[in-house]
Structure 1
Amino acid sequence: MKNEVLNIKGVCFGEILWDNLPTGRKLGGAPLNVAYHLNKLGIYTDVLTRVGSDANGQEIVSLCRELSIPLTLFQEDHILPTSTVEVHIDDKKDVRYEIVYPVAWDHITLGELELQTVREADFFVFGSLSTRNDVSYQTLKGLVKQAKYKILDVNLRAPFYTKERIFELIGYADLVKMNEEELGFVSAWLGLPPDMSDQSKSEAVMKHFAVPELIVTYGAAGAIYHSTTGHFSHHYPALKVEVKDTIGSGDSFLAAFLSLRCRNDKNIPAEEILEFAATLSGYVTQSSGACPNYDATAINRFVWLNELQ
């Protein structure tokens, strides 16, 4: 990893919140996490979100400013509160979330600034959770039409999803990221046999929705990147690290993936893209919270230490 500032711009749409962890609260929300890492990796990325006009919202804005996260598309709600999530981590480091509803990011509104920013961006990242309310969902539908390269991060959080909504969102995307469990849900909704291999399930999902790229993450078993344009399915193992928590590991994986996938100055092999994605994800997994501080030196040292194992 090198410290670079690239001529690439992105927009992440959706939730921003306080994760209330057993050890204290952390800034969170999948779109915010992805944008944090992309900006750290030299790709200017806006976050289109909404916070309340309360102390929690003011503290989020202040912290995002400190973290050099652009605030241009932050909206303020004078009725709904800033989002908070109760996070429970069990002995196996698995995470369970209690997500408050409704909150400010359920009412993200659409204006000319939002349309123009997405129109000029190289990519647009959105998640399924942010569409649980119709106001934000209608805003998303207006923005997707303007986006050049559309990335859906499937994020199934009961009870905030339906089969119909997930199917519609997948249909908008050029690249879909989901985990093994989410692949199982989508495959079952399509009526695929439960004993079908994940490879066949992935191919069936991509064919059904005409999605050219699909990433399926498998936690400690790594991830597989499927591409119909490249005619390949490439598996890359996860790094062996001491897990502190898994919060945001998938978000950092996606950010690192996009930081190389969207480079317009060179054609980078899939294996190299996945290697870097697995590296950053591993670093985050052995850190506390979704947005740990790091620089090129820290990541390079992490790679070196991992290679010594």
Structure 2
Amino acid sequence: MNTHNIVCYGEVLWDLLPSGAKAGGAPMNVAYHLTQLAQAPAFVSRIGLDDRGKELLGVLKEKGVNTEFIQLDYDMPTGIVHAVADSNGDMQYDIVAPVAWDYIDVDSDLTELIGQSSHFIFGSLATRNKQSRATLFSLLEQANTKVLDINLRAPHFNRNIVEDLLEEADMLKMNISELELITGWFADFKSVEGRIALLQERFNIPTVIVTLGADGAVVNMQGKVYKHPGFKVAVADTVGSGDSFLAAFLTGLLENKEASDALIFASALGALVASKAGGCPDYTINEIYTLINNSDKVIL
């Protein structure tokens, strides 16, 4: 019997930073944070039979992320991203292609896994290659609650595929830049709430979550709007903050929290992760509640 209540699908890779290599990939980060929050996620991806792949498996196992459904590729290398600072000091990212996670295969075990789980989390980056894209859309036919963590990374997306993904989503999570980009394809809305309503109506998406960086987050669940202004912390970096936010919000809903309380919980974890270095830092659930209890920020 499948014991995984959530499945995360997509890329896993090494971010080759000036400071050294760090394990990365949004679906992997979400799976890690779900694990930290006492959920039982499965992670579906693909790595190469190379040293980087072996090291990546070791990191995932060390962090407690389930690796049962990570496929091995005999031809393609493990994914890497070259991160280089430009003349202004801003980081520019080259997501190398093709790599192993571009070639995720579908099989009966995977189909059964998706069908038995309550939530299936996916993004746009894993659709850049036709193989992983075909596998994703095949699995979406079996999925129950479909959670689209859009995660746009230029030039690895196009409008037609993004619209196809939006058509599938029961829950959509995005940042403010992604919201503005996508809604700009259809209309010139000024307000965040107007942009969210446009996506909900056009693509029939019951729940839309938009993270606003330092300004918090807003959620529309079936027409009811919830906002949180965010928790103030000393930021180490923002890597993985949005991924942890999604994991915490889903966990809140699975634990039958009210949407407003799930948003507070998610906002607190996003801030906590931003206060620590890296996308998958160590923390405890008690740290999340300590941040909540010591803050005067309340739901609006």
Deviates more, 1:218-227 or 1:21-30: 21-30
Residue 94 of structure 2: SS of its match in structure 1?
Answer: strand
1:275-304 CA-partner distances (Å, limit 9, x unpaired)? 110111001101111000112343344445
User: Which residue matches 1:3?
Assistant: none
How far apart are 1:97 and its partner, in Å?
2.2
Q: Distance in 2 between matches of 1:305 and 1:89?
A: 37
User: Which letter does structure 1 place at the counterpart of 2:14?
Assistant: W
User: Which residue matches 2:213?
Assistant: 219
1:289 aligns with 2:289: no
How far apart are 1:8 and its partner, in Å?
6.7
Residue 101 of structure 2: SS of its match in structure 1?
Answer: helix
1:247 aligns with 2:233: no
User: Which residue matches 2:20?
Assistant: 24
User: Which residue matches 1:134?
Assistant: 130
Residue 279 of structure 1: SS of its match in structure 2?
Answer: helix
Q: Distance in 1 between matches of 2:117 and 2:63?
A: 21
How far apart are 1:86 and its partner, in Å?
2.3
Residue 234 of structure 1: SS of its match in structure 2?
Answer: strand
Q: Distance in 2 between matches of 1:96 and 1:177?
A: 23
1:101-159 CA-partner distances (Å, limit 9, x unpaired)? 11100000000110001111010000111110000000001100111100001111111
User: Which letter does structure 2 place at the counterpart of 1:278?
Assistant: S
1:79 aligns with 2:75: yes
How far apart are 1:68 and its partner, in Å?
1.2
User: Which residue matches 1:236?
Assistant: 228
Residue 251 of structure 1: SS of its match in structure 2?
Answer: helix
Select the residue among 288, 291, 294 that pairs with 1:299.
Answer: 288
Residue correspondence of structure 1 range 140-289 to structure 2 within 5 A = 140-190=136-186, 192-193=187-188, 195-228=189-222, 231-263=223-255, 266=256, 268-289=257-278
Select the residue among 114, 123, 139 that pairs with 2:119.
Answer: 123
Same amino acid, percent of matched pairs = 38
How far apart are 1:11 and its partner, in Å?
0.3
User: Which letter does structure 2 place at the counterpart of 1:202?
Assistant: I
CA contact (8 A) 2:265 2:292 kept: no
- Gaps of at least 5 residues in structure 1 are 1-6
Deviates more, 1:95-104 or 1:70-79: 95-104
Residue 62 of structure 1: SS of its match in structure 2?
Answer: helix
How far apart are 1:87 and its partner, in Å?
3.1
Q: Distance in 1 between matches of 2:260 and 2:278?
A: 27
Q: Distance in 2 between matches of 1:8 and 1:61?
A: 19
User: Which residue matches 2:60?
Assistant: 64
How far apart are 1:212 and its partner, in Å?
0.7
The alpha-carbon distance between structure 1 residues 302 and 201, as it changes in their structure 2 partners (threshold 3 A), is closer
CA contact (8 A) 1:54 1:81 kept: yes
Residue 120 of structure 2: SS of its match in structure 1?
Answer: strand
1:35 aligns with 2:31: yes
For normalisation by structure 1, the TM-score amounts to 0.90
CA contact (8 A) 1:93 1:244 kept: no
Number of residue pairs the alignment of both structures matches: 295
For normalisation by structure 2, the TM-score amounts to 0.93
Q: Distance in 2 between matches of 1:212 and 1:297?
A: 31
1:228-253 CA-partner distances (Å, limit 9, x unpaired)? 2xx31111112111111111110000
Residue 80 of structure 2: SS of its match in structure 1?
Answer: strand
CA contact (8 A) 2:148 2:169 kept: yes
- Gaps of at least 5 residues in structure 2 are none
User: Which letter does structure 2 place at the counterpart of 1:22?
Assistant: P
User: Which letter does structure 2 place at the counterpart of 1:245?
Assistant: D
User: Which residue matches 1:4?
Assistant: none
1:44 aligns with 2:40: yes
The alpha-carbon distance between structure 1 residues 95 and 271, as it changes in their structure 2 partners (threshold 3 A), is farther
How far apart are 1:27 and its partner, in Å?
1.2
The alpha-carbon distance between structure 1 residues 296 and 93, as it changes in their structure 2 partners (threshold 3 A), is farther
How far apart are 1:227 and its partner, in Å?
1.4
How far apart are 1:90 and its partner, in Å?
8.3
User: Which residue matches 1:102?
Assistant: 98
1:192-247 CA-partner distances (Å, limit 9, x unpaired)? 02x5322111101110001111011110011110112xx31111112111111111
CA contact (8 A) 2:81 2:96 kept: yes
